[in-house]
């Protein structure tokens, strides 16, 4: 110390830093926090109107994941515990883009899903579908310099979830994304085209009609692999007017 007095650190609002700003969704495009057909939202949705937080330094930055934490085998869910998973092998791939259509490199993309019989490997999932000893349903990958990601997995089965009589979730894969800032955090679900269960699923139908299609992947014949796997393409947009609909909380699923 030199004995000179120093001014207390300034907060971000006083600093000369020019912070990036992230677009907010228009209210009408947001998935509601409470949705009458989705029973558990009645207890967990806030009673007061949520307040949008200002974008300060904390919100416009994010964690540094570091290298080597995610390894290539993390992206192949079909080979676990010394064997091969049962079910229809599929490739799920796409790009993570920002609101201006620019690729988001180095984004952490994590997935979790039920097995081919529609069962999660989780202690509270005990409906009578078989567990697969070679499938844990967990995967992760980091996007490349062009924002691309790819998983090899099996197509998940539908499962009952008790929301209403004979309620079944459409086949889906849960996605969690960390982009370049906490404002680019996204938790959502990817569906498969033409699923006959869409119509009776309140989680899918809670999404505003104009945005539901963004959660449905596209079958891509060109990316299928002969004698090996089918392929589904799904691009994800973080923030902005073309944003993939957010989940406002977990959907009551296990794992
Ligand atoms: Fe689920």
Residue 200, classed as helix, strand or coil, is: helix
Phi, psi of 142 (to 5 degrees): -110, 135
Q: Enumerate the H helices of the chain as residue ranges.
A: 41-44, 202-206, 209-212
CA–centroid distance, residue 228 to ligand 1 (Å): 26
The pTM assigned to this predicted structure is 0.86
**Separation between Cα atoms, residue 72 and residue 143, nearest integer Å:** 12
Q: What is the CA radius of gyration of the chain?
A: 20
Q: What are the catalytic residues?
A: 120, 159, 169, 172, 174
pLDDT, tens digit (0-9, with 9 covering 90-100), for 124-183: 999 999 999 999 999 999 999 999 999 999 999 999 999 999 999 999 999 999 988 888
pLDDT tens readout for residues 24-77: 877 777 888 999 999 999 999 999 988 888 888 888 888 777 778 899 999 999
Predicted pLDDT at 19:
77
Give residue 46 CA to ligand 1 midpoint distance, Å: 22
pLDDT at 15 over 70: no
pLDDT band at 246 (very low <50, low <70, confident <90, very high): low
Chain centre distance of CA 124: 22
Give distance in angstroms: CA of 66 to centre of ligand 1. 29
The β-bridge partners of 188 are 175
Measure 12 CA to ligand 1 centroid, in angstroms: 39
Closest-CA residue to 177 (of 121, 119, 98): 98
Instruction: Please report the pLDDT score of residue 210 as a whole number.
Output: 87
* CA 254 to ligand 1 center in whole angstroms: 7
Alpha carbon distance 114, 138 (integer Å) = 9
Q: How far is the CA of 250 from the centre of ligand 1 (A)?
A: 9
Residue 253, pLDDT > 60, answer no
pLDDT given at position 156: 98
Comparing CA positions, the residue from 136, 146, 84 lying closest to residue 111 is 136
The pLDDT, as a whole number, for residue 248 is: 56
Name, in order, each residue with C-beta under 8 angstroms of 176's C-beta and a sequence gap of 6 or more.
108, 109, 110, 111, 186, 187
For the stretch 72-102, pLDDT in tens is: 999 999 999 999 999 999 999 999 998 788 9
């Amino acid at each position: 110390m030199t004995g000179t007095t120093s001014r207390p650190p300034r907060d971000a609002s006083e600093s000369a830093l020019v912070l990036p700003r992230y677009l907010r969704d228009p209210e009408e495009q947001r998935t509601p926090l409470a949705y009458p057909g989705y029973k558990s939202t009645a207890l967990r949705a806030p009673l007061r109107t949520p307040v949008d937080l200002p974008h300060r330094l904390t919100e416009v930055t994010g964690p540094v994941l570091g290298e080597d934490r995610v390894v290539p085998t993390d992206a192949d869910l079909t080979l676990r515990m010394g064997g091969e998973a049962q079910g229809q092998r599929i490739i799920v791939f796409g790009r993570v883009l920002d609101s201006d259509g620019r690729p988001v490199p180095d984004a952490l993309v994590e997935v979790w899903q039920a097995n081919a019989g529609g069962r999660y490997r989780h202690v509270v999932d005990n409906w009578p579908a078989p567990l697969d000893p070679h499938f844990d349903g967990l995967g992760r990958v980091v996007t490349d310099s062009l924002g691309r990601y790819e998983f090899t997995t099996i197509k998940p089965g539908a499962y009952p979830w008790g929301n209403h009589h004979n309620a079944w979730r459409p086949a889906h894969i849960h996605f969690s994304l960390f982009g370049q800032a906490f404002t680019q955090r996204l938790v959502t679900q990817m569906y498969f085209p033409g699923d006959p269960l869409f119509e009776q699923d309140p989680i899918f139908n809670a999404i505003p009609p104009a945005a539901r299609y963004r959660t449905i992947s596209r079958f891509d014949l060109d990316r299928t692999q002969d004698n090996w796997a089918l392929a589904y393409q799904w691009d994800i947009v973080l923030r902005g007017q073309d944003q993939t609909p957010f989940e406002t909380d977990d959907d009551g699923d296990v794992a």
